[in-house]
Amino acid sequence: MRIKIARLLMIIVVLVNLAVLHHIWKLLSYHESKTLNSSVKLNLVKNNSRKHFLNNRNVTIVLRDIEFFENNVAETIESLQNIFPRLKILIVVDSLPYPPLNLKRNDSQDVKMINLQVQLHTSAEKRNPLFHIRTKYVLFLPDSVHISTTELLLTMLSEVDKHPHNIISVPSSNSMSAACLQIFLSVKEWTLQYNHVDEDVCDSVTGRQALLLEADILRMLPEPFMIPFPEAIYIQSSAKKLKVRLLRSTMLRDGRALFQSPHAQWKLQQLTQARRAHMFRTLGIKKVVRETGSVEWYGCNRDIPRCFGSVVGDMPQYLWEDKWTPPCCLAGLRRTARHVFEHLEASGVRYWLEGGSLLGAMRAGDILPWDYDVDVGIYRDDVPRCSWLVRAQSTSVVDDHGFVWEKATEGDFYRVQLSRVNHLHVDLFPFYERNGTMTKDSWFPTHKQDREFPAHFLHPLASLQFVGRLVSVPNNIRDFLELKFGPGAVENPEYPDHSKLRFPRKPAFGEAVVQVDYDY
Ligand code: ZN
């Protein structure tokens, strides 16, 4: 009996010792991995993370940019399953693939296709890829990569360990063009601008790449699976001030080369352009300045209606949305205004800038960044000199350059529109002199600046830079503007109807990040 108890005690002592030793060993290895600056540390980290992701299935692999007309999904998935047999793979598509992807029959739950298309028998939840992601990290891979070791993923994991909340990007071996770009996004000005940076930490990486990030980042983005991928995700992550790290020390190996034929390349290019246009429109971006300096427009142009609807109470819709005039509309307004000035000058009609347009000219030589039209005063007596104004009195007419001249329906004034379909316009208000006062016959009750003024402001007319040329303006502009808008109007311009703004505050010119350019 005694011997039995002694044996039992001995076993307990041994077990306790073992537990203590294990604890000390764990502390040591933790200490080592924290402090040792050698390859031992890297191996420890790698072994730990290898154990981590293999055992805990801490990474979900997502294939997003797959073309149905040509792909290598079957081989890619096979190589992935060989190396990461326990990791879940999601194929995210916009519609059911046709022709069908040639996947090997897979009985496990580890490869799943998520079709984003609305279908009557699929719930919104199941259609959302995030519903199927339970891991801490997500690895996005392009189609046709060849994964032969775990090294790539381990290196990326150890990098994201060091830099939490960063996106880790590894360029593919075929991507000669992996570039790190900085993104300037001005939601207010509907504009996005890319700039080259020399560092490998930036906002957006170009070219084919593997991309690792925390799943929680996907959850905070408005549309994480938007295409073109990864272009779309980088715009969204940069809006959240998240950084991407380009790892050039390691490389993603490509599988079979895709899109080799000219036709396939053409097709891919067409698709990408259409997707890009859709993406920018969805994200509210109408002008993109590339890192090369080239400009792309995604807003309205002469052949389609302007970006905003009828203006109610001098408050355009975009101001209500806390934004400024879309850049395409500003460009259309400038173009129309230049055309009108040329015509008035050529036909000898005396004119001057009015209201907000004069204010913009005085402040920055341009249309105010939130203005929706251009206002010009003319001498009523000069109207017969301009044949288009004369014709406009009876009907609306299109001139030789496609601009539309008409008598406005809202009152006794003229309007020149960019085109028949795009109603961006310049308003021409005919004034006449009566007892030393410039007056007219109809007024806008919602425009407080629409009022009479002493004729001496026009004797003589002065000139000022506006929309890229010299235009004629009243003399003594400051007094003229203060008379119309009230004291301090030049220094502190206000939005038209302050009381109706959702975020009532004064316009800040400093917010503008985008260079003025005068044409589409
Ligand atoms: Zn527009």
At 199-255, the pLDDT tens digits run 999 999 999 999 999 999 999 999 999 999 999 999 999 999 999 999 998 889 999
Distance 283 CA to ligand 1 centre (A): 15
- Say if residue 11's pLDDT is above 90: no
Distance 300 CA to ligand 1 centre (A): 4
CATH architecture for residues 55-254: Alpha-Beta Complex (3.90)
Distance 444 CA to ligand 1 centre (A): 25
Distance 501 CA to ligand 1 centre (A): 21
Can you tell me which residue has the tokens 């806008």? 444
3-class SS at 134?
A: coil
Domain boundaries, the chain: 55-254, 317-512
- The two structure tokens encoding residue 408: 């406005």
Secondary structure element (H or E) that encloses residue 104, with its range: none
Q: How far apart are CA 459 and CA 462, in angstroms?
A: 9
Q: What is the per-residue pLDDT for 504?
A: 56
Across the chain, what does the average pLDDT equal?
88
Q: Where are the alpha helices (DSSP H) in 36-70?
A: 39-56
Distance 477 CA to ligand 1 centre (A): 30
Domains 55-254 and 317-512 share a fold: no
- Which residue would you say has higher pLDDT here, 19 or 313? 313
Distance 437 CA to ligand 1 centre (A): 37
- Say if residue 73's pLDDT is above 50: yes
Distance 371 CA to ligand 1 centre (A): 12
Distance 309 CA to ligand 1 centre (A): 11
Distance 32 CA to ligand 1 centre (A): 60
Looking at domain 317-512, its CATH class is alpha beta
Helices 355-364 and 477-485: crossing angle in degrees, nearest 10, is: 130
Q: What is the pTM of this model?
A: 0.83
Which whole number is the average pLDDT over 28-47? 48
Distance 113 CA to ligand 1 centre (A): 39
Q: What is the per-residue pLDDT for 225?
A: 98
* DSSP type of residue 100: P
Q: Between vectors from CA 118 to CA 114 and to CA 123, what angle results, nearest 5°?
A: 70
Task: Pick the closest to residue 427 from 441, 411, 440, 439 (CA basis).
Answer: 411
Distance 328 CA to ligand 1 centre (A): 4
3-class SS at 244?
A: strand
> Where does the pLDDT of residue 145 fall: very low under 50, low under 70, confident under 90, or very high at 90 and above?
very high
Beta strands 351-353 and 374-379: pairing type? antiparallel
Q: How far apart are CA 196 and CA 237, in angstroms?
A: 17
Distance 327 CA to ligand 1 centre (A): 6
Distance 464 CA to ligand 1 centre (A): 26
